[in-house]
Each structure stands twice: as C-alpha cells, then as structure tokens.
Structure 1
Amino acid sequence: MANSEIPAARLRAWWAHRQWLDGSRPGAAAADVLAATGWARSVGGAAPYLGLFARAGLGREAVDAAVARLEVHELPSARGCTYVLPARDFALGLAVGAGAPESELAAAGKHLGVSRDEIEKLCLAIAEALSPLRPLEPTAIREAVGGSVRVLGEAGKKRGLSTTLPLALGLLQARGLIRRVPVNGRLDQQRYGYVGWDQPVAGTAADLARRYFSWAGPASLRHFRWFSGFTVATAKLAAAEAGVVGVPGTDLLLAPELADSFENFTVPAEPYYTLLAGIDGIHLLHRDLARLVDPADAGRPLPAGRAGRSFGGEADPQTHVVLDRGRIVGFWEYDTGEQEIVHQLFVPPDAALREALRRTEAFVREQLGDARGFSLDSPRSRAPKITALRAAGSPSG
C-alpha cells in the first residue's frame, strides 16, 4: 500500500477513531455501533460481544436484547460469511451475500448430482414447516419435511455436505424467507433453530461501497475487494458510483464526506487501550495486518506458533489483541481455569492499560464465561498459547 506521505501512526489512529475505539461513544445502541463502524464478523466466538463492549461499553444482556428485538441480527452477508448487522442493513447484507448459496448449489449439482428442482421443492417444504415464532432445529426440520431431505452419502461427506438440507437452508436465508436464531439467544454459541421470515432483499454493489469506505476508509480497492468478494471490474465500478475520493500520494480511497475530517485529524496525545478479538473489524475490514503493526513488533514470535513464523508475517492475528490508537500493542487470551486474562504486552503497562485489562477481564468472567475466538476454540485448544503468553511476560511499568 502506497501511503508514504501519511504517517502510519496517523492512519492507525484515524482508523481507530472511525471504528469508535477511542472511548467517544459510551452507551451507544448496538445497531448504531454496527451502522457506523461496520458489520461484525461472527464465527461462533466472542468477537461481536468484545467489539460492542470495547466501542460502547455494552454488556452481553444489552446485546442479546438487541438481537431478540431484531435491532441487530446475524446473517449471511459479504462473501457468504456470517456477520452481525444492524436492521438498516439486513436487505443489503442478504443481497451482497446471495451468490454464495447459488455457488454451493451449482457445485452440488456438478459433483453430487443434486438438481435445482430437487432443492426448490425442499425449500417449499421447509417454508411450509416453519413458523415465524417457534424455532425448529435442523433435526426437527428434517422430521417435519419427511423424505424431502436426501442423504448424499460418502461423496457428500467428502465435500462437507452430508444431506441436501444445508443447500435449501442457505437459499432460503439468502432470500430473506427464513432466519437462523441462536437457541439460547447468545451470539457466541453455535446451536441454532430456524423461523419463517419476510425480509426484503435489496441493494447494489455501490451501496456496499458507500458503507465500506465510510467504515474502513482510507482503504484501497484491494481492501474493498477482500471484504466484498467482488471482481476487480465490479469493485471499481461500485467505488466510482459511490463517489469515493482518492487520498493524495496513496492508493487509498475515502468517502467524500470524510475528506475534510481526515485532512484535519491529529493523533490523540494520550493512549486509549481496548481489548479486541483477532477478527475484529479494525483488522478484518481490510485484512491487511501490517497496517496495525509497528515495525518494532513485526518480528515477534507467535505465542505457541511454529518456529520461524512471526507476527508481522501473518494474514490474521493468532490471538486476541490489545490496541492503542490503532496500533496492536499486545496479545491476550482468557484462561477459564484461573478466570483471568493472560497477556503479552509490547509496551509498559500504565494505569489506563491496567484498567482496560481489568474491565475486559471482569466482562468476560462475569458475562461471557469465556472469550472463544471461533466456534471450535476451547480452553484445551488454546492452552499452549496461554502457557506461551505467561512465559513471555510483559515490560514492567
């Protein structure tokens, strides 16, 4: 990324500012946070909770209540991946993610002999079986639709598709006809039921570009392509239709209404620390980790990582991260046995950093119980990282 005319610290601090990671929006509603800072990637871990807590101090109950009221919801969206979206973006999120289930159906037709007619009939049966109020889990849906679900045998298992049910559920979700709801109301669990829905699906690539460059700008066209999954031609056209403007001397683009604010922005003098998931939007909207890493930290070994691998060479953080004005200044994980955050800091801890650690530790311990990175993360699987973090220690302060 060509940005030699803009100091890295200024870019990082601006991104943190636009992501509301500067303590400026305490108590903001979950939907407002997501509308202003971007959709929160959800993979069955604690990332949405940690992100909303860091940005607005929201507790788990407040977030779960927003989910229950459909002010925010987890939906398949950009690239077909699941994100937590505000209600204003439900239609757009579904529209930009609609291609993924179609691609999965095409692949199943090619490799497993599944026809569109078969899946469309299954879609009709599922839609008739579901109500808007009482969620049915996949097992109950299979029982309700009888023989409409077909087992795909060993060939299907090899492709991660044991029956035709996921194909139909994916299409119905993308069409806004059903939605997936967590059985216990929590975003960091992966047991779901499905209910009927009637959600319009609408929006263009340019609509996504307008939002993206407001959340993530300055960002390059490459960054936008990563987030959206668009081709080069589609991304260029969408950015042009969105009216984004270039940042002089760089390959970065910005929403036009932010140009003056960016030009006049200065880096805050005092640090402001937040503890975030490794897949938080401050990283994942661009997925360009080097932006947030100081050169002095790039060579740090990964906690429990393979020999020869260093932090600066990774595509994604391998742990949760501590941030200060856009710079990653530490690694952390949660030890469920000791009920505490274990960390490796790159800077000496001051009173503000100790307080950020204390607040987040209390939040995880009292409201979440754990801070899983993703659905398959577990206390046992992260034990080597925790041991490595304890051994590494942190600078004294």
Structure 2
Amino acid sequence: MTATWKQRLIEVEVGPVAHGGHCVARHEGRVVFVRHALPGERVLVRVTEDTGGSFCRGDAVEVLEASPDRVEAPCRYAGPGLCGGCDWQHASWQAQRELKAAVVSEQLHRLAKLDWEVIVEDLPGGPEDWRTRMRMAVGRDGRAGFRAHRSHDVIAVDDCVIAVPGALDGVVDRTWPPKSELVVTRDAGGQVHLTEVGPPVVRRGRPVPGPSRLIGGSGTATELAAGRAWNVRADGFWQVHPAAADTFAAVVRDWADCQPGDRAWDLYGGVGLFASLLAEQVGETGSVAVVESSYGAVEDGKRNLSDQPQVSWYAGRTEAVLETPDFTDLPPDVVVLDPPRKGAGRVVVTAIARSRPARVVYVACDPAALARDIAAFAHHGYELAQLRAFDAFPMTHHVECIALLRPAR
C-alpha cells in the first residue's frame, strides 16, 4: 500500500481532461486527478485526497507554465479550497466547450466503442448570469453559500457570477438558521421564489430534510417554453439555463417526428415539456404516455396539459411502470427519455428495446451514463444516428447531450 500523499506538494505535467471537472496527470507511477489546471500546463499540485491506491486527487495551487486557454477566473470564490460549484472558470469559454466535447467523445469511445466527433454548442447569453435555480447551504455562522468541492464545508458568498442578476438579493445579505438549506428560483417573469429547508432531523433512526417554509415569492414559478407558459413548483425540476428548455424541446420535436395517430412514451417526463410537443404531433388520434416518479411534477403536468387529453400520466419509478402489462400492451412508435444523472440503466433500456420503437430520443445530463446506455441499446440492435451537445452549464463540467437512436440497419 502506497504511503499517503495528502497535503504533499508535487510538480506535474498536466495531461488530458477527464470526466468530472479535472485533468489527468501522473507522478511516480500514480494517477493524479488535478483540478484548477488545463491540459498541457506544468503546475504545482497540493494533494487533497489520497486513500493509498493507484490514484489521488489534488488542486493546482501554482501554475508554472500556463496554457494559452487560461484566463483569470471572474469569481473571487473560484479556486483551490473555495466554492465547488464551478470547475472551469480559469478556462476561456471556447476552451470550456472544447474540454466538454473531448469528455463526451472519450466516454463514447471508452464505454460505447464509438468514434464520434462532438461539438458542444453554446446557448445564448454567455458564460455568466445564467443560473436561475440554486440550492444553497447555510454554514455555522448563519451565512448562505455553496459547498467546497467534495466537502461539507460551506463557503459563504456575497454574490455568484453564474446566477441570474437579482436571484440572490435578500439571500446573501442576511443570516439564516445554521445547517439549513435555501432553494432559490428566479422564474421567467423575474419573480424570485425562496424556500428555507430546516436542518435535518432524525426519524426512525434516519436523517431526513427538516421542515420547509416559503420565505419569498408564491412558490409557483412561471416558465416559458415550447410555445406555452408553465406554472410549476418553484422547488421542483426545471432546466436552470433560461434558453435550455426551448433549445432541447426544439431538438426533441425534430427528432421525435411523430405522425398523427402514433403512440409515444415520455419517460422521466417531469411536468410534460416534451410530452406537450409529442401530443401536438400525434394529434387527437394518437397517445402520449408520461412516466414520472415525482408526484408533484405529475400534478403540475396534468394541470398544465389539461388541454391535451391524448396525454396520460403514470406516477412511479420508470422501471416499475415499464413492467406493468397495461402500459406495455400497446408498444410505442417513438420513445423520449430524460433520465437522472445515473442514466436509464439496463432494465429500462431492455424494456424500451423490447418494444421496438422506430426512434428513441435520449436527453442526457451525464456523458458517461449516456455512453453506457448507448452501449446497452447497441446490444439490443439500436445504433446512434445523431448526437448534439450543449453547454447548458457554463463554467461547470456539466454538459447536456441529446442522442437519436434507431434500429440498426
């Protein structure tokens, strides 16, 4: 077992980008995952984590030879040991997209055995002032902030360069109950909704979130996408970039290409953003089945899409619903799925492939999970036909991908 290197300073040549907001370097035969560095740089790294195995983690605390893509971070809370929300503030925006494209390509090659050229497209508005929804932690001193990378430590902030202007007014300039959390949403109408979630409490031997109370706003956010207004829970799921929902909806509409009378599944359907588009395409003679595990989202969806009776709702885990005979008796022509970060997984992929849809449109927020699921689809005779990637989370390592899969020819 290798002696721990924690807190040790080492000099390394930085290698390629890796999934997760860091780059790969090597030192004395071990892999070092380095944050705050860029490929090709020579940096001094302070090791922050080391369990004695084949790899360790560290922060670049001094840049000895800088990449031409390096810029000064616009946020004073970005850097080693500080806020863990952003990963690439030290890279130009163009370089950030190139790094993300490299990660998506590498994951497709390694996990799905595909050589695919990826271009990450930017969304309108630039790399700052875009985040509309945030979950903040409150430190022992009662100040709101964000957690450090891979840590429970709260870094108190006075502002956030990626937050939409005005979102944190009245949040960062006062104190809150220590160990509580704050859910902040600024909706399309400019209204800020603020919910305080109390410190965790123990019930039946397990910690659960504390009671929540609405501090500001109505708790119902109004969002605009796909040609309609949506009234949704402010603390529920909605895309955090103002341009993301409309952008993704346009791609899904194009690739789903449902015909009148078709049957469609919208899995992990949320409040029904994509279902609304599918319903328009299939018309009154078709059907759209939405599966969503959040009962609150289902309630919001039923209310928002009450004008589309061809949409039916199934509240429950996708894996469980797909095993229900009355759901699978009528196989779909098209399937849209937008799973959580862990991906759909083999059970869901197998159930979809067994139903033999003509097209599968997969919306993914994690390139590794997407690549694993594409490989699983390939095992069942589906191939990747098209892929687009979007920088819906500038300054962070996150990237959104939309893939179209079809039965292999």
TM-score by length of 2: 0.24
Higher relative contact order (CA 8 A, sep 6+): 1
Judging by fraction of residues, say which structure has more strand.
2
TM-score by length of 1: 0.24
Judging by fraction of residues, say which structure has more helix.
1
